[in-house]
A and B are shown apart, each in its own frame.
Chain A
Amino acid sequence: MSKQPGLVNISLSKTIESVLNTAIRLDEEQGQAFKGLEDKVIKVTLTPVTSPVYFLFTSYMVSVQNQLTGEPDAALECTLFDFMSLPLNRTLPTSLMEGDTDLAMQFIDGLCGLDIDWEEHLSHYTGDLVAFKIGHGIRSFFEQKQTTKNNLGETVKEYLQFEINALPTQSQVKRFVQQVQQTQDEIDQLALRIEALLTKT
Chain B
Amino acid sequence: MSQNKPTIDFGFAEVPLEEKVKKVKGVFDSVSSNYDIMNDVMSMGVHRLWKRHTIELSGIRPGNVVLDLAGGTGDLTKEFAKRVGKTGRVVLADINESMVRVGRDRLINAGIAGNVEYTITNAEALAFPDNTFDVCTIAFGLRNVTNKDKALEELYRVLKPGGQLMILEFSKVTQPLLAKFYDFYSFNILPKMGKLIANDEDSYQYLAESIRMHPDQETLKQMMLDAGFDKVEYLNMSEGIVALHRGWKY
Residues in A lying within 8 Å of B, measured CB to CB: 1-2, 4-5, 10, 13-14, 38-41, 54, 56-61, 63, 65-70
Contact = CB atoms under 8 A, between A and B. Distances in A.
The interface size bin for chain B is 20 to 34
Contacts of B233: 1-2
B61 A58 contact: no
Interface stretch (B3-11, B50-58, B204-212): B50-58
Contacts of B235: 4
A63 B63 contact: no
A60 B77 CA distance: 13
A143 to B, nearest CB: 37
A10 B87 contact: no
A58 B57 contact: no
A99 to B, nearest CB: 14
A14 B79 CA distance: 12
Given A2-B233, A40-B62, 6 more contacts: A54-B61, A58-B62, A58-B85, A65-B56, A65-B60, A69-B162
A60 to B, nearest CB: 4
Interface of B: 49, 52-53, 55-64, 79, 81-87, 111-112, 134, 162, 164, 233, 235
Nearest to A62: B82
Nearest to B78: A60
Given A41-B61, A68-B61, A69-B134, A56 B52 contact: no
User: Nearest 9 pairs between A and B by C-beta?
Assistant: A58-B85, A69-B59, A39-B62, A60-B82, A67-B59, A63-B83, A39-B85, A66-B56, A68-B59
Nearest to A65: B56
Question: Interface centre among A56, A63, A70, by most B CB within 10 Å?
Answer: A63
Contacts of A41: 61-62
Contact of A13 (B56, B60, B86): B56
